[in-house]
Structure 1
Amino acid sequence: MSVLEAVEKLEIRVLVDNSTDTLSSNPAFVESESAYIGRRGLTPSARCLCCAAHGLSCLVTVHRGGASRALLFDSGPEDYTFQRNVTRLAVDLGAVETIVLSHGHWDHAGAMLLALGMIRSRNGGAKVPFYAHPGMFVTRGVRQPNGAVRRMDDVPSAVELADFGAELMVTTEPQALLGGLFYVSGEIPRESGFERGYPGQVRRTAAGWEPDELLMDERWLAVNVAGKGLVVLSACSHAGIVNVCRHVRATFPGLPIHAIMGGLHLSGPNEAIIPQTIEGLKEFGITTIAAGHCTGWRAMTALANAFPDALVPTAVGKQFTF
């Protein structure tokens, strides 16, 4: 069993996501992009709106004892989206003390070198601790029906990250971050039986392309909010969100899972496991399901039907406060 210090408040600002939504109503603990624009005294217009892109990035800030600590969870797919959204949301990247890369896919790491540069331009040039898994730094692709491999863009290499000021912490082991206020998992056990990872994914080795569907480099991030329980960021849930939740429960058996957030990767071939996933999630009594990114509209519909009071879709610019 691991220990995770409780925080008084957690704020998660969505910097990059597949969707933008300025009009839908939200529960009191979620502020939309347009509400945030209005709170800053601005009028929503093309001059201040963010843009959506296929990827995910979140600024995660905790508050405890009158102090705040912040980390960046992924960077999204490319520089333009990240820089535009950070600028238009008036995000203070100088407050970011560390970076966690959830897994080795381009849509979560494409803007990472820019992010490092922006953070260091505001923190006096200090190096930034960067938590990664050694399996992230491989060339990946997806096997096509005709047998050919569609190659993915690589994530920045360890050398490139170090050159841009990252202080690399590359390990398969779980880590407590920033005084024990954040926890990043180790490798996620695959136990559910129906969650098979990323169908068709391969990685390149000296011998050629080999199967890589399990994507063992993926990790989850957790924060313990006093009086509520664990808020878990799962990025893409390639391990399967049921496997993720079971691993969270096994790691912190005395704490309830209050919220899960990120992509559930129930689109494409994984649409076939939507019913099992819905049933599997029922065992955890989760209060908030903040799904977005790669979840897919069919899964969103199923989640809305099964958990009408829990589902709060993510969108660019939204802030979740627990």
Structure 2
Amino acid sequence: MFLAPSRKGVVPFRGHHTWYRVTGDLHSGRTPLVVAHGGPGSVHDYLLSLTALASDGRPVVHYDQLGNGQSTRLPDKGADFWTVDLFLDELDALLAHLDIGDDYLLFGQSWGGMLGAEHAVRRPAGLRGLVIANSPASMPLWRAECERLKDELPADVRDTLRRHEATGDYAHPDYQRAVLAFYERHLCRARPLPPEVATTLLALQSDPTVYGTMNGPADFHVIGTLKDWTVVDRLGAIDVPTLVITGAHDEATEATIRPFLDHIPRARWELFENSSHMPHVEEPERFEQVMREWLAEVG
């Protein structure tokens, strides 16, 4: 189903390690595509369909960010450790270790797109293009839009969510069922749930250290350290071609991604009408076509 890796390894990072896999040949002369997954605190598995983009010779790099998957787990670290700067430094370490920092493209999905925007505003010399997939430019915008999306749920689901969020009883089975109802609308509409997505969700549940610290108990209830994060006032610094991707039923609504389109000089938007937060598995054929066309333009 997915192309096999040509290389796997770990990057030493701050006394820990970051796991990665490469599909294709990093010395092929084609600009590699680096894939940053969501969460924060998730794993790379649900984005493995992007290995298909390596079939024409372009190398694709996946990695597990520190704190989950095959990278070092650090369940005892607190909020002062899990910062945006930590993950930016980790990405820089990966690029340096693979010796691709002078020529690469970056694809970020959800939190990975937030990370990608933070990376791009620093104007790294080797960045040739950026994909921001299903990501907000501002957590205050995201939080407001998630409240709106919750208001549109069936009354019993909406009331269950709000009741348990008021008391902080996030482990209650009723709350968990209501979370699932939201996710079935706005996270992934593919049925049955693709195995790589299920694997990712299980990994996130098995070690919620990073997600719980930086985000909170659910995508739509952000009470962690990212709750006031924004990159809106810095987006004008992004000077590379930028593709913004969302689904029509996405948690990342038009309001949350509008600042990217308004402030990044070379940004354009692709909307997937039959998708929510994961067009790469909800509309895989069109997603691959859009990505291949964009890569042909910029890569």
| TM-score (norm: length of structure 2) | 0.35
Q: Give 1 or 2: higher helix fraction.
A: 2
| TM-score (norm: length of structure 1) | 0.33
Q: Give 1 or 2: higher strand fraction.
A: 1
